[in-house]
Amino acid sequence: MRIAHWQSSDLTSWNRKSTIVNSIAGRTPDNPRSEVWVTGVVFNETENAWNIFYVAYRAGDESKGEIAGNDYAGRIWRAMSVKRGMEGIGGPYADMGIVLQPDQNSQLWEGQQAVACFNPYLVGDTWFTMYDGHNHVPRGNWPTGMAFSKNLEGPWTRMPVGINPLPIASEFMENEIVTKLSDGRYLLIFDSLGDQQVGYSISDDGINFDKEKRLNVQSGSNLWAQAGDHSMRTPLCALENPDGTFTMIYTARMLVNGKPFYAVGQCQLAWEEK
């Protein structure tokens, strides 16, 4: 599995530029990098360098009652671009260490998969991120918590139980991205349930978010993703345009020659006038 850098000048045509991170071949319980998934990309002003945050998993151990095909013990790595400045986004990147992982500070709700997802965003002079958990056996919901730090490089501290897990979605939310809007509010988008739907939430302070709302990102002649709760997969960004609309890039599953394929889509979103 690879994490790659792609580039586009119009958000429609994309060119693959380089590989940023590789997993280690061989999906086993002893391989802590059986899978790697990028979760966050942030420019670190302190280092004058880009930071990527990605999760690395091991496989389940059937001898211990785990599910071999599932992801366990997620660890969030921070990597820094070797080339300084904004132009260094294409890499190469150097691993700088793990910023959040299962440890003595883990909370019961995090389950066996955590830590999953890590997309830092700034509120005042403090960085925040949401992070996901899930228990495979017995199977549970997909709750989300929050952690904070004064520096992107850490140390990161989990919010206390009572705040975590967050009361945003009742059953499932993953891959949360928070964007500060021009009016000062914060927009949260995330992978949710529902046919061709994603979830979103609004916050006035970047910490306390409203209950989930869902929106359809495909309809009519623009509907190409399969139906099903996990066919519309991952919102990748919500870019606020000068006119107040948003451009969202996302992944969704479709059929190509009868076989599942995760494609990348784009849609334009706007606030509904009342």
73 within some domain: yes
Q: Which of 114, 147, 166 is the last residue of a domain?
A: 166
Contact 75, 56 (CB under 8 A): yes
Tokens linked to 189 = 């988008």
In angstroms, the CA 28 to CA 95 distance is 22
Contact 253, 226 (CB under 8 A): yes
115 within some domain: yes
Quote the pLDDT of residue 14.
92
Count the helices and strands in the chain (H runs, E runs): 0, 17
108 within some domain: yes
Same domain? 211 vs 185: yes
How many structural domains are present in the chain?
Answer: 2
Tokens linked to 1 = 């599995």
Burial of 136 by CB count in 10 Å (0-12 exposed, 13-18 middle, 19+ buried)?
A: middle
Q: DSSP string spanning 91-123?
A: --EEEEEEEE-SSTT--GGGBTT-SB----EEE
CA-nearest of 120, 141, 145, 112 to 131 is 145
Backbone angles phi, psi at 220, to 5 degrees: 55, -130
Q: How does pLDDT run along the chain (274 residues), one tens digit per residue?
A: 899 999 999 988 999 999 999 999 999 999 999 999 998 999 999 999 999 999 999 999 999 999 999 999 999 999 999 999 999 999 999 999 999 999 999 999 999 999 999 999 999 999 999 999 999 999 999 999 999 999 999 999 999 999 999 999 999 999 999 999 999 999 999 999 999 999 999 999 999 999 999 999 998 888 999 999 889 989 999 999 999 999 999 999 999 999 999 999 999 999 887 6
Contact 232, 214 (CB under 8 A): no
Quote the pLDDT of residue 272.
82
136 within some domain: yes
- Helix, strand, or coil (residue 190): strand
- Helix, strand, or coil (residue 230): coil
Same domain? 154 vs 193: no
Same domain? 156 vs 202: no
Instruction: Give the domain range for residue 13.
Output: 1-166
